[in-house]
Each structure stands twice: as structure tokens, then as C-alpha cells.
């Protein structure tokens, strides 16, 4: 799976959780850039992402995430190590 495909899937997941069908994100997008993306919705995004990609995140991995690009990278790493 390419980084672009992961980003597209994340955009759909985040848009669904935040009820924003027209959401556009890129690798530099942060939670503070998107209305409604708070600590509670962040946990739902992480949970839905784990389910979608059939992966699990460790707490220390989540804490290190700075933006969507970091999120894509960690997903890619986990998919590559399957």
C-alpha cells in the first residue's frame, strides 16, 4: 500500500469520525488544523484506523505523532512488517 493510498484512507476515516465528508488533509495536517478534532475524537480516529488497517498502535507510538504524515508513516511501517 502506498503512502497516498494510506492518506486517502485516513482522510475517509477522519472525515467519517468528524462528520466532514468534504475534509481535505495532507501530510502536514495536525489535529489543531481541523475543527472538531480533539482528544476524544482522536481516540476514535485511532481506534477506527486500527480496525481498518488491522493493526495496533502502542501508546508511545501515538504520543510521538505530530501530524498526519507521521500517522501515515507509522501505518506504513506496521503494514510492511506484517
Q: Angle at CA 32, nearest 5°, toward 74 and 47?
A: 45
What's the confidence (pLDDT) of residue 82? 83
The DSSP annotation for the chain comes to --HHHHHHHHHHHHHHHHT-TT----TT--GGGSTT--HHHHHHHHHHHHHHHT----HHHHHH--SHHHHHHHHHHHHHT-
pTM of the model: 0.94
What is the full per-residue pLDDT of the chain (82 aa) written as tens digits?
999 999 999 999 999 999 999 999 999 999 999 999 999 999 999 999 999 999 999 999 999 999 999 999 999 999 999 8
Q: Which domains does the chain have, with CATH numbers?
A: 3-80 (1.10.1200.10)
What's the confidence (pLDDT) of residue 76? 97
Amino acid at each position: 500500500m502506498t503512502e497516498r493510498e494510506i492518506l486517502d484512507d485516513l482522510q475517509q476515516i477522519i472525515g467519517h469520525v468528524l462528520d466532514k465528508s468534504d475534509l481535505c488533509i495532507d501530510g502536514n495536517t495536525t489535529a489543531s488544523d481541523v475543527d472538531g478534532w480533539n482528544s476524544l475524537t482522536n481516540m476514535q480516529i485511532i481506534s477506527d484506523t486500527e480496525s481498518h488497517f488491522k493493526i495496533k498502535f502502542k501508546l508511545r507510538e501515538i504520543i510521538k505523532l505530530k501530524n498526519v504524515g507521521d500517522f501515515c508513516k507509522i501505518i506504513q511501517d506496521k503494514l510492511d512488517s506484517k
